[in-house]
Structure 1
Amino acid sequence: MRPAMAILCATAAAVLSGAAEAQVLKEFGSFHVGGRQASLSGYPVTESVFTQGAPPTRVDPNGDFEVEQMYVQYLIPEPQRARYPLLMWHGGGLTGVTWDTKPDGQPGFMQYFFRAGHPVYVSDAVERGRASWARYPEIYKTPPFFRTKKEAWEQFRIGPAYATDPARRVATPGGRFPVQAFDQFAKQFVPRWTSNDAITQRAYDALVEKVGPSVVMVHSQAGNFGFRAALNAPGTVKGLIALEPAGAPAPGPELDRLTAIPMLIVWGDNIGSEPVWVRQQPFSLAFAADLKARGGDVEVIELPKVGITGNDHMIMMDTNSDQVAGLIEDWMRRKGLLRER
């Protein structure tokens, strides 16, 4: 640990109590990983006023830029119960805030697993949050998409009918999402680009290489990135936890590379209420069946079938998220990913 960090942690006496036992925050920090230098030339120089009352400033868009990088924040507990760091990868149109404090103010998965003794690495993928953007269309070739609140409310299975007036929104009966905090959740939405999968995969692969042996937890769009990262570094990814993954590798011989990696796939409730998940879920189920047939160690948990009901797409934000996290923690124990007490 760097001296300044040691002094800060010791002085602050940063102790968090929670899921398993008290944990001291041994170290925290952040870094960017992946990316490349891009150079632009031949674009016109303009003038712009950067702040009210200031004179116009010459703006030259030509030059060198760092692009396609990923941002990562980490929290290291003491003692550590987990054998490997836990990397948390968010879904489409979202950032690492997915795993942080929940929209209703309750602790999220990042805090839960830190308190259970896991070093946690929470990333903002390429183009998201603190990873930063790149110029469009000079570097990003397609325009960004922005998620509406209606799309999130209905597609994420929070409820069957969205309305601008919160009092008129129809929530899923028995649903676990804290609907009173939905507008707060919507503040997390960020633009996404559909043309950036390849560069995002490279950044995730670079993160796995930098951190080393680790367990990867993915959500939604990150499902494909997590499965592909395991295929690209099967000796480094020691476990993979996929929460409602949007897609999975097609069954085939390349899955032989994954047979030694324990995998857990978790699906929530009311899948049949939203067409996108009726289409998406079979991909991960077919992947799991093929991997099992090849001798792989993959477990699929459909929460309603184990008596946990009402979960939507944002499982880590639901009011019973600790119960689901405990189920995941138990799976990790059974797979030898935790140290014996």
Structure 2
Amino acid sequence: MAGIEIAEIGSFHVGGGLTKLEGMPPRDRVSTPGGPVYHVDQNGEIVAGQMYVQFHKLASPRARAPLLLWHGGGMTGACWESTPDGRPGWQTFFLRAGFNTYVCDAVERGRASWAPYPQIYPEAPYFRTAKDAWEDTFRFGPRGSWHPDPTQRRTYPGLRFPVDAFEAFLAQGVPRWACNDARTLAAYDALIRRLDPGVIVLAHSQGGAFALAAALNAPERVRAVVVLDPSGAPDPATSDAARLCGVPHLFIWGDNWQDNDFWRRSRPASEHWRDALLAAGCDVTHIDLPQRGITGNSHALMADDNSNDIARIVLDWLTARGLEG
């Protein structure tokens, strides 16, 4: 396989700002084992609400806009870099296709860091359990199919996710807070404003909800939106879908959501927004993979064993709109 000629790799933080901690108790800290004790005053200014962005710029990009890759809830940009079973991820796929890429760790995730609670975040974080990931969020198996013993786990028939790498996938998870939607969207908005006008946003799950909202906040700067199994969307009763008539949208959905309580309750929001976009005359494509005869895909579409086939669907859709090559 041919190499990728990269001109620049770098990173930056965007969003957030100084905020002051007050009323914090003093603490004693040891920097290294056996080192001296330092008396630490925890009061003062820190930066909170920032997002981490890593970019790869090609020597000769062919795409007409950079691709922003936004992860889902309790995840980081690592989900785009490599699959849990060690295959190249969508970052590599789209670099090979000629796109400059910007992979994000949203507010509170990964290298974006997080802030004290309840001083800044008003509540404690929560952690996704293996059972929740297996049976609910990622739809690897039906209710009652999870077991700590890998030999006792059951999957949906024909599941495309490589279950031997489930523990590696679970290791990508990070704690998350339920109180930072406004901070997170503000950071995504700041990223879109920072880059040259004309970006493509490709987002997964919770990131899809942010992508749909961010496009609405800056339709003149977004060339296209691609969302995979989005877990939310703007409300047509309070948001004007007609603002997005110049922004094509692609919705892609995996399999086995009908009997999943979380997704039965979450999916209608994106369908209502899709319908509002269509009613406003926007360019909207909705792909339900099973209806195309592509069955067994989990919620982790970028990690399933046919992930490159799904990436190719996205690439063909972008190409048809003049955004590649």
Whether TM-score is above 0.5 comes out as: yes
Corresponding residue of 2:230: 245
Which has the larger displacement, 233-242 or 289-298?
A: 289-298
> CA shift at 1:257, angstroms?
0.6
> CA shift at 1:44, angstroms?
2.4
Corresponding residue of 1:297: 283
1:228 to 187, 210, 213: 213
Corresponding residue of 1:8: none
> CA shift at 1:292, angstroms?
0.7
Corresponding residue of 1:114: 95
Q: Matches of residues 13-28 of structure 1 in structure 2 within 5 Å?
A: 17=2, 23-28=4-9
| Kept after mapping to 2: 8 A contact 1:103/1:182 | yes
Does 2:203 correspond to 1:218?
A: yes
CA distances 1:21-58 after superposition (whole Å, capped 9, x unpaired): x5311211111111110112332222233332223210
CA distances 1:260-285 after superposition (whole Å, capped 9, x unpaired): 10000000011113111111222211
What residue identity is the alignment partner of 2:193? E
1:179 to 142, 155, 163: 163
Counterpart secondary structure, 1:273:
coil
Q: For 1:57 and 1:90, locate their aligned partners in 2 and report how far apart those are by CA, in whole Å.
A: 38
Corresponding residue of 2:42: 61
1:204 to 167, 188, 197: 188
Corresponding residue of 2:113: 132
Corresponding residue of 1:38: 19
1:157 to 139, 155, 159: 139
Q: For 1:41 and 1:119, locate their aligned partners in 2 and report how far apart those are by CA, in whole Å.
A: 42
| Kept after mapping to 2: 8 A contact 1:78/1:117 | no
Q: For 2:320 and 2:26, locate their aligned partners in 1 and report how far apart those are by CA, in whole Å.
A: 61
CA distances 1:49-91 after superposition (whole Å, capped 9, x unpaired): 3332223210110111111100000111232121000000000
- State the TM-score, normalizing by the size of structure 2: 0.96
Does 2:122 correspond to 1:141?
A: yes
Cα gap change, 1:56 to 1:113, in 2 (>3 Å):
same
> CA shift at 1:174, angstroms?
0.3
Does 2:321 correspond to 1:335?
A: yes
> CA shift at 1:147, angstroms?
0.5
- State the TM-score, normalizing by the size of structure 1: 0.91
| Kept after mapping to 1: 8 A contact 2:254/2:290 | yes
What residue identity is the alignment partner of 2:171? K
Corresponding residue of 1:10: none
CA distances 1:108-160 after superposition (whole Å, capped 9, x unpaired): 11111111111010000000000011111111111101000111011111112
What residue identity is the alignment partner of 2:304? D
Counterpart secondary structure, 1:322:
helix
| Kept after mapping to 2: 8 A contact 1:103/1:185 | yes
- Provide the alpha-carbon RMSD of the alignment: 1.2
| Kept after mapping to 1: 8 A contact 2:98/2:324 | no
| Kept after mapping to 1: 8 A contact 2:16/2:50 | yes
| Kept after mapping to 2: 8 A contact 1:82/1:117 | yes
Which has the larger displacement, 216-225 or 50-59?
A: 50-59
What residue identity is the alignment partner of 2:155? A
What residue identity is the alignment partner of 2:278? K
Counterpart secondary structure, 1:58:
strand
Corresponding residue of 2:71: 90
What residue identity is the alignment partner of 1:119? N
Corresponding residue of 1:76: 57
Q: Matches of residues 251-330 of structure 1 in structure 2 within 5 Å?
A: 251-252=236-237, 254-330=240-316
1:29 to 1, 4, 10: 10
| Kept after mapping to 2: 8 A contact 1:157/1:273 | no
